[in-house]
Amino acid sequence: MRFSISSLKITNFRQYRGKHTIEFTLDKKKNVVIIKGKNGSGKSNLLNAITWCLYDLEVHKEGDTKYDDGMPIINAAELESLVPGQMTLAEVEIALDTENGSWLIRRQVEGGKDGLGNPYVRPKSELTVIHTKGDQNLVEQGDDTQIYINKLLPPALRSFFLIDGEQLREFFRKSTPKKIAEAIDIVSQLALLEQAVYHLHQYQSRVNKSIKDTSPKVKAIQLEIKSFEAKNAETQEAIQKGEQSLDTMEEELRDIQNYLKNHNVGRISALQGERETIDKDISRRNRELGDVEEKRNRYLVRLAPLIYLKPTIERALAYIEDKVEKGELPARIKETFVRELLDRGVCICGNDLEGESRRILETYGERLALSELSEVTIEGRITFGGILAEIDEFPQRMDEHNESIDGLKAELERKKRRRELIAEEIQEHNIDDVLRKEDRRSTLEKNVATKRQLLLVAQSDVQNFTTRLEGKKKELLHELSIDQKNEELRAKLSIAQETLEVLVTAEEIVRAKIRELVETNTQRNFFTLIRKKGAFTGVTIDENYSVRVAHVQGYNVINDLSAGEYLILGLSFMSALMSISGFQSPVIIDTPLGKIDEEHREYITTELPKFLEGTQLILLVTPTEYDSAVRRNLDQFLLPENYYEIKEDVHGIESRVVNAHGAKA
């Protein structure tokens, strides 16, 4: 369902003491809303107010958190002003304009001072949704009310619409293929299929349990199935935990690398920079090595059957050569022509074919048996000749392949050696914090490599268990079919198994199609939004969910983009996911232009509102971001009444949002 925000009312939420109302005027072309405020003035808390109202969550820089630590969600001064026993509340109310009429969403949480004067905030907030059905206004309250919001915009899709600019810029700088795959999985909305698969597995287990009076063999197979299922579940759980821990380690590793790269001792910073360049080189060379090895393998697989069959092929060729030498191939007269003459019984000269002349022609016809194969055997002769010529080249071609592989391996070794020297030189500086970080970096690097290997082993184990489990299930079906009394159970299990296979295939197909669609849309969006259109040739998301941005000179520059280019790539990807998800919600971006160079700011502020035409685009900007050029560009998409500023009190503790339309200039 398409919707826009028509107003936002905030009461005693964080630094917004008292009641604050922001009205949004909706316009398809002039779709931008600006809320300007200094760093720390409360821009992010406006985004938090919205996510809290909708999902009982606040989006902080570090990720999603609940309000159970730090500053209370109810304005601290408001709480402080209460007398013991007095109560107050924090409330956020969002009015929506939807295709099906107006909606009002309100969340409030109570708090106050207890009898001893200690401030408290109740742990549970209350959600109210008022929506229209026909001519009626329906009021929803209680535990199930969240369902209404989730239908409007599922929580999993939230981060594609309610965006932290900094997180968006970092998305492709930090994201692993796993995170890309997760994001694509969310919009693929495979939950229904996954639920069906889950229920079918449950059903299979129930049917398995109901098999009674079984033979010892059935019992043994059932036990094996149970054991494989348990091992599978255990390993999958270990993989999930392992992946989480890998993410954490990789995050810490990146932080350390950034620390060293930005170190105020120039040589440390330069060495870390060089190490990062080497790492990129190593990963590029590893990819090249993979490509070259694959090429070698393809060649081997193509030539191996021909070499295995060399004696056979030579023998076949010898037969053809022999026939050619004897003049039987290619035949000058076709066997069919001789047969026609014999059938007709009359020679081309007009004489009857009888007696000796007929016998001579019959003998000749037998010798022409190969005539119909003339063309085909000549084709074979040429192909066999070509095959043998290729086999002759095999040793030389293999040497060439091996030479490329060995060359790349040697280069990789040199780069790894240089890396070791860099680590030694960094340590020679003998700076305490650098030594500590370098030590930790080295440990993390080893741990990450080990963890990745363990995960690969575990994933291979899961594959192995799954194959064996499937085998055992088939075996069970076979055993059950032996005894007629199990026929009904066998039929049930068989249908469940077949349906499972269909569902798994369907899941694979949907996943692949959506990935292709996201890839196409991301590329299209990227080339719409990017300024240097000629510098790139494509954006791809391969089957392993690795993103590549191809530079015009052929390099993959995914690790070398500027902050502006990362933002555009992030926006392009999010936008692709948004459009595929089918949900049409306002897009709210906190600090969209921070760290973005002037040229990209100019381009983004001209192109983004056009790109999202018809979608309400709420930008929470700092005064630095909202400079004169940005203001000039956005003016054409901004109704004057949709311009707000956040004003702080003299102490910088409390904030209020004012319509600053008159103050724009």
Partner 1 sequence: MLMAPRLETVKHNLEPRNVGYSKEVADLYQDRDHGWLKKGSANIFAGLYQKDLFIFAMALGKNRERSSDFGPKEKQDNVSVDAMTPAQKWALLSIGIAESDGLLCLKNEGEIYSAAERYAREGIQILRSHMEEAGPNYPKKLEVELRELLGLLED
Using CB under 8 A, which of 123, 311, 327, 662 touches partner 1? 311
2-10, 63-71, 298-306, 431-439 -> range binding partner 1 (CB under 8 A): 298-306
Alpha carbons 591 and 167: distance in angstroms, whole number: 10
Work out how close the CB of 572 gets to partner 1 at its nearest, in angstroms, rounded to a whole number: 25
Stretch that binds partner 1, among 196-204, 222-230, 280-288, 297-305 (CB under 8 A): 297-305
Q: Closer to partner 1 at the Cβ: 450 or 463?
A: 463
The closest of 84, 90, 72 to 118, measured between CA atoms, is: 84
Provide the minimum distance between the beta carbon of 297 and partner 1 in the complex, in angstroms, as a whole number.
5
Q: Which stretch binds partner 1 (CB under 8 A): 97-105, 170-178, 318-326, 644-652?
A: 318-326
> Which residue number, 346 or 457, has a Cβ lying nearer to partner 1?
457
Nearest approach in angstroms of CB 301 to partner 1 is: 6
DSSP state of 144: G
Binding mask 380-409 for partner 1 (x = CB under 8 A): x-xxxxxx-xxx--xx--x-----------
Does the protein bind partner 1 through residue 410 (CB under 8 A)? no
Q: Which is nearer to partner 1, 394 or 611 (CB)?
A: 394
d(CA 317, CA 312): 9
Q: Alpha helix locations (H) across 210-265?
A: 216-261
Looking up tokens 């090895």 gives 293
Q: Write the DSSP string, 452-500.
A: HHHHHHHHHHHHHHHHHHHHHHHHHHHHHHHSGGGHHHHHHHHHHHHHH
At closest approach, how far in Å is the CB of 389 from partner 1? 6
Q: Identify which of residues 376 and 482 has a Cβ nearer to partner 1 in the complex.
A: 376
In whole angstroms, give the CA distance from residue 135 to residue 273. Answer: 65
In angstroms, what is the minimal distance from the CB of 648 to partner 1? 54
Residue span binding partner 1 (CB under 8 A) among the ranges 195-203, 231-239, 296-304, 424-432: 296-304
User: 325 exposed, middle or buried (CB, 10 Å; 0-12, 13-18, 19+)?
Assistant: exposed
C-alpha to C-alpha distance for 243 and 451, rounded to whole angstroms: 8
457-486: contacts with partner 1 (CB under 8 A)? 463, 466-467
Q: Is 291 in the site for partner 1 (CB under 8 A)?
A: no
Binding of residue 368 to partner 1 (CB under 8 A): no
Residue with tokens 């009015």: 95
**599 touches 564 (CB < 8 A):** yes
Applying CB under 8 A, among 320, 408, 529, 541 the residue interacting with partner 1 is 320
384 to 305, 318, 398: CA distances (angstroms): 13, 10, 21
Classify the phi-psi angles of 142: left when phi > 0, otherwise alpha if psi is within -120 to 50, otherwise beta.
left
Comparing CB distances to partner 1, the nearer of 242 and 385 is 385
Q: Is 379 in the site for partner 1 (CB under 8 A)?
A: yes
316 binds partner 1 (CB under 8 A): yes
State the burial class of residue 188 (Cβ atoms within 10 Å of its Cβ: 0-12, 13-18, 19+): buried
d(CA 43, CA 48): 9
Which residue, 138 or 457, has its beta carbon nearer to partner 1?
Answer: 457
Q: Which stretch binds partner 1 (CB under 8 A): 2-10, 379-387, 419-427, 564-572?
A: 379-387
Q: How far is the CB of 567 from partner 1 (least distance, A)?
A: 30
In the DSSP assignment, the letter for residue 83 is: P
Min dist CB 358 to partner 1, Å, is: 24
* In the complex, minimum distance from the CB of residue 314 to partner 1, in angstroms, rounded to a whole number: 9
Q: Report which residue type is found at 137.
A: N
258 makes contact with partner 1 (CB under 8 A)? no
Q: Does 502 bind partner 1 (CB under 8 A)?
A: no
Q: What is the nearest approach in angstroms of partner 1 to the Cβ of residue 180?
A: 15
Distance (Å, whole) CA 31 – CA 619: 11
Residue 327 makes contact with partner 1 by CB under 8 A:
no
Residue among 57 and 303 whose Cβ is closer to partner 1: 303
Distance CA 582, CA 1 (A): 8
Q: Between the CA of residue 319 and those of 54, 364, 643, what are the distances in Å?
A: 81, 20, 89
The residue from 26, 57, 207, 306 that contacts partner 1 (CB under 8 A) is 306
Residue 506: both structure tokens together: 């369907």
Round to whole Å and give the CA distance between 453 and 446. 11
How far is Cα 601 from Cα 616, in angstroms, rounded to an integer?
19
Residue list 174-213, contact with partner 1 (CB under 8 A): none
Q: In terms of CB distance, is 311 or 534 closer to partner 1?
A: 311
Q: Which span sits near partner 1 by CB under 8 A: 92-100, 235-243, 352-360, 370-378? A: 370-378
502-523 residues labelled b (16+ CB within 10 A) or e (exposed):
eeeeebeeebeebbebbbebbb
Minimum gap (Å) between residue 401 Cβ and partner 1: 9
User: Which of these segments, 27-35, 372-380, 407-415, 592-600, binds partner 1 (CB under 8 A)?
Assistant: 372-380
Residue 294: partners with Cβ closer than 8 Å, 6 or more residues away = none
Name the minimum Å distance from CB 172 to partner 1: 21
Confirm if 592 and 634 have CB atoms less than 8 A apart. no
Decide: is 373 part of the binding site for partner 1 (CB under 8 A): yes
Pick 155 or 385: Cβ nearer partner 1? 385
Q: Binding of partner 1 at residue 293 (CB under 8 A)?
A: yes
**φ, ψ dihedrals at 486, nearest 5°:** -95, 5
Q: Distance between CA atoms of 577 and 293, rounded to whole angstroms?
A: 35
How many chain residues are in contact with partner 1, going by CB under 8 A?
Answer: 49
**Is 207 or 309 the residue whose CB approaches partner 1 more closely?**
309
| Region near partner 1 per CB under 8 A, out of 88-96, 131-139, 203-211, 313-321 | 313-321
Q: Is 310 in the site for partner 1 (CB under 8 A)?
A: yes
Q: Of 65-73, 300-308, 350-358, 554-562, which segment contacts partner 1 by CB under 8 A? A: 300-308
Is residue 17 left, alpha or beta, with left meaning phi > 0 and alpha meaning psi from -120 to 50?
beta
Asked whether position 544 contacts partner 1 by CB under 8 A, the answer is yes
165 exposure class (CB count in 10 Å sphere: 0-12, 13-18, 19+) = buried
- Smallest distance from partner 1 to CB 459, Å: 10
Looking at beta carbons only, is 400 or 425 nearer to partner 1? 400
Residue 208 contacts residue 493 (beta carbons within 8 Å):
yes
Task: For residue 509, state whether it binds partner 1 (rule: CB under 8 A).
Answer: no
- Residues engaged in binding partner 1 (CB under 8 A): 293, 296-298, 300-313, 315-317, 319-320, 323, 369-370, 372-373, 376-377, 379-380, 382-387, 389-391, 394-395, 398, 463, 466-467, 543-544
